[in-house]
Amino acid sequence: MTQKELSQLLKSMSIEEKINQLLQLSGSVYEETGVITGPVAQMGFDQNNMPAGSVLGIVGADKLKKIQKEYIEKHPHRIPLLFMADIINGYKTIFPIPLALGCTFEPELAEVSAAIAAKESAVSGLHVTFSPMVDLVRDARWGRVMESTGEDTYLNCCFAKAFVAGYQGNNVMDKDKIAACVKHFAAYGAPTAGRDYNNVELSERTLRDDYLPVYQAAIEAGCALVMTSFNTLNRVPSSGNKKIMREILRGEMAFEGVLISDWAAIEEMVCHGMAENRKEAALRALEAGVDIDMMTPCYTGNLKNLLEEGSITEKLLDESAMRILQLKNKLGLFENPYKDADSKEEKRWLLCQEHRESARKIASKSFVLLENENILPLKKEGEKLAFIGPYVENKWIYGAWSIFAEEKDCVSIKEGIIKKIGVTPATFALGCDVLDEGQKIADFASHVESKMTYKERESHLKDAVEAAKTADKVILALGEHAAQSGEAASRAEIRIADGQMKLLERVYEVNKNIVVILFSGRPLDLREVKKYAKAILVVWFPGTEGGNAIADVLFGDFNPSGRLAMSFPYSVGQIPVHYNEFSTGRPYKETEGTRFGSKYLDIPNEPLYPFGYGLSYTSFEYSRVIIDNTKLSFGGYIKASVQVKNTGEYEGEETIQLYIQDVSASVVRPVRELKGFQKVLLKPGESREIVFGIEEMMLKFYNIDMNYCCEPGLFKVFIGGDSRTQNSAQFYYE
Ligand code: BGC
């Protein structure tokens, strides 16, 4: 449709019809049973009265086509429904969780995974995914760090763009493409004390320097939707925050697409205490420019009244309704309301070999080797290996958001190992459960808990110790339960379960050659694990091909190359801990030996494993940083370079990281900030010159007057293999 036709359509719609476009309901109301239950029933809707303009959370080509057909037939203007869902790290073929993708330092892989997720979702009838989540995360207690690509603004910007490009391609109307929804605007990733849904307090400078650029990157990449966040930002709930939605998002950031509330977030303004009732909440949200009310009757129950009493204008309502119509039009739904939904294509593409191969490769690239005392890689022959732990046969290694994935489609570690080396050289044992006795965690649909009795626990532990006794090496697959991260899964103690620690200690008593494979949705406190393990390989939640990818890395068919996108704290007491902190007036190094330095008495300042860190089976050597000009002039460009050499025995990939420090400015600047990275594959003995261009825009920040600019002065350039590198040069910007 042309814009003119859309305007005519809007003109011909009744007030009720326009308001209905603004409601989103959960797809469960359309499930075949015809019985309306749960929140939708409580909202007063029934099968004959489902006024939504969009639905979320249902999938399947035939099912969605049927719903669409019936809906359009009933609709006075034959306006199609929008189908949306949370496709976070894949639809049926599951990729590593976003935090793991961040660790690849290869945004191209996020684009590939998003394109595959889009294709699988599109043929199953979806139009929109609630992804990417680009919230900057610095607190590992928050369960949703798994949905982010980590603690760094620049890295997250690169990934945000890549996700959007993968989902949307050049045009969301194209075959196999779906619209992306960047979330959660704004600053949801900074809840106080890491507790989900908690309030966020950020200075405007921090918000603008660190948090907003990532949403901006997604918007500049053409992201069709933005989702509001649950949190308050400096005491104002996002869904009613006119300043951030109208002034910043729509005004400064020039976002023209659909703004959708998070689940029930409009109504939650009542709980927050910023609205007395649903009516006031609806008023606040519409005034802020929130177009879609997800899962509450705030808009449908109140906008008409608000209009009639003159509290809102029809123009305001029209603006939102138009944006929704425009999105439907952008997707081509007026001409083809089914878009790519096709059950034959579902059979062909979902979990096809090509998608599985990508998932395997991407998973192996996301693993981070934290420790390796000459124990990895394993040998395919001549070593007696015992694979022990609750993750050896576990197939729920998808992460919290993989709501459409099925356990049966996953390759477990055991299956991956047997495929690689056959059954004979290895033994397998459970050892313990993921959760401890009595531990019960509410999950999305129900809850998870350990069903193992005390007797069973003792017997599994005994078997595991027996298996460990006779092995040359023990590979212990441990970690968090998938339900221990994700939404509403904050943790104050970020360690593996006591039962798993006990298993590790008991195995250590009989065999010191331990490799720990760690499953997790967040950085964990690994101090204890580190004491017992000769190698630690973090595999996050690796997805459908996890077992194969782990086997590839363990046996050296793939040399690990992942780098931490989020620091692993030494202990919870340091949190938030991130590499780009600010200098204090009493840096610890300078005051060492005296009482009055910025330090803890009981733990170090540094995280256990810092941002950008990760080992390889080979080693790399860096030359000193060479800078081609010590002066960067206005509008100019200088080059910083290093020679990187593979000094080990394996071919391997190195991630060369460029950090810049603004040594002195009108406000205190971070000790360093990531401004570039490159990955190179080097053969043993091979070396390569790596060149980074440095230009003005890389030096910009919000200065003392809140101007976004760069200030003249001294800058340091660091180039190395992680955020601690001291390999540096300096230049003046003038
Ligand atoms: C989450 C969103 C998600 C939405 C829809 C909310 O609880 O915060 O990230 O997209 O549900 O499922």
Mean pLDDT, rounded, for 506-526: 98
Taking only the tens place, the pLDDT of each residue in 198-213 is 999 999 999 999 999 9
pLDDT for the residue numbered 66: 94
What is the percentage of the chain residues whose pLDDT exceeds 70?
A: 97
Given a contact cutoff of 8 angstroms between Cβ atoms, the answer to whether 222 and 255 are in contact is no
Statement: residue 319 has pLDDT above 90: yes
The band of 30, judged by pLDDT with boundaries at 50, 70 and 90, is confident
CA–CA gap between residue 346 and residue 363 (Å, rounded):
23
CB atoms within 10 A of CB 27: 23
CA–CA gap between residue 44 and residue 414 (Å, rounded):
49
For the CA of 294, the nearest atom of ligand 1? 5
The band of 46, judged by pLDDT with boundaries at 50, 70 and 90, is low
Taking only the tens place, the pLDDT of each residue in 260-288 is 999 999 999 999 999 999 999 999 999 99
Q: How remote is the CA of residue 231 from the centroid of ligand 1, in Å? A: 13
Q: How remote is the CA of residue 261 from the centroid of ligand 1, in Å? A: 9
CA–CA gap between residue 88 and residue 68 (Å, rounded):
24
For the CA of 181, the nearest atom of ligand 1? 10
- Which residue has a Cα nearest atom 10 of ligand 1? 130
pLDDT for the residue numbered 504: 98
Q: How remote is the CA of residue 520 from the centroid of ligand 1, in Å? A: 21
> Tokens for 285?
């949200």
Statement: residue 444 has pLDDT above 90: no
Closest CA to 414 of 439, 381, 444, 390: 390
- Which residue has a Cα nearest atom 11 of ligand 1? 263
CA–CA gap between residue 612 and residue 580 (Å, rounded):
12
pLDDT for the residue numbered 34: 47
Q: How remote is the CA of residue 262 from the centroid of ligand 1, in Å? A: 6
> Tokens for 77?
């203007």
As a whole number, the mean pLDDT across the chain is 96
Taking only the tens place, the pLDDT of each residue in 546-555 is 999 999 999 9
Alpha-carbon distances, residue 632 vs 137, 639, 730 (angstroms): 32, 10, 10
Q: How remote is the CA of residue 402 from the centroid of ligand 1, in Å? A: 13
> Tokens for 6?
């859309």
Statement: residue 125 has pLDDT above 90: yes
Statement: residue 49 has pLDDT above 80: no
Residues 6+ apart with CB under 8 A from 368: 103, 537, 538, 560, 562, 563, 564, 613, 614
Would residue 135 show up in a list of annotated catalytic residues for this protein? no
Does residue 147's CB lie within 6 angstroms of at least one atom of ligand 1?
Answer: no
Strand ranges inside 130-285, DSSP E: 179-185, 225-228, 232-233, 236-237, 258-260
pLDDT for the residue numbered 51: 76
pLDDT for the residue numbered 586: 94
Does residue 463's CB lie within 6 angstroms of at least one atom of ligand 1?
Answer: no
Q: Which of 37-41, 126-130, 432-436, 554-558 has the lowest mean pLDDT?
A: 37-41
CA–CA gap between residue 214 and residue 9 (Å, rounded):
35
H or E segment and range at residue 126: none
Mean pLDDT, rounded, for 483-499: 97
CA–CA gap between residue 327 and residue 258 (Å, rounded):
7
Catalytic residue among 152, 209, 262, 552: 262
Pocket test for ligand 1, best of 97, 487, 490 (most atoms within 8 A of CB): 487
Checking DSSP bridges between strand 82-85 and strand 535-538, what pairing results, if any? unpaired
Q: How remote is the CA of residue 52 from the centroid of ligand 1, in Å? A: 18
Does residue 183's CB lie within 6 angstroms of at least one atom of ligand 1?
Answer: yes
Phi, psi for residue 102 in degrees, rounded to 5? -55, -35
Triad 415, 507, 378: Cα angle to 5°:
45
For the CA of 131, the nearest atom of ligand 1? 10
Q: How remote is the CA of residue 37 from the centroid of ligand 1, in Å? A: 19
Residue type, 125: G
Statement: residue 468 has pLDDT above 70: yes
Taking only the tens place, the pLDDT of each residue in 625-641 is 999 999 999 899 999 99
- Which residue has a Cα nearest atom 2 of ligand 1? 262
Q: What is the number of alpha carbons within 13 Å of residue 623 lying toward its C-beta?
A: 14
pLDDT for the residue numbered 311: 98
Distance of CA 84 to the CA centre of its chain: 18
CA–CA gap between residue 660 and residue 323 (Å, rounded):
41
Does residue 391's CB lie within 6 angstroms of at least one atom of ligand 1?
Answer: no
Taking only the tens place, the pLDDT of each residue in 600-625 is 999 999 999 999 999 999 999 999 99
Residues 6+ apart with CB under 8 A from 679: 105, 106, 561, 653, 654, 655, 656
- Which residue has a Cα nearest atom 5 of ligand 1? 263
Does residue 196's CB lie within 6 angstroms of at least one atom of ligand 1?
Answer: no
Q: Which residues of 628-647 are buried (b: 16+ CB within 10 A; e: fewer)?
A: eeeebeeeeebebbbebbbe
Taking only the tens place, the pLDDT of each residue in 677-687 is 999 999 999 99
Statement: residue 47 has pLDDT above 60: no
More confident residue, 33 or 562: 562
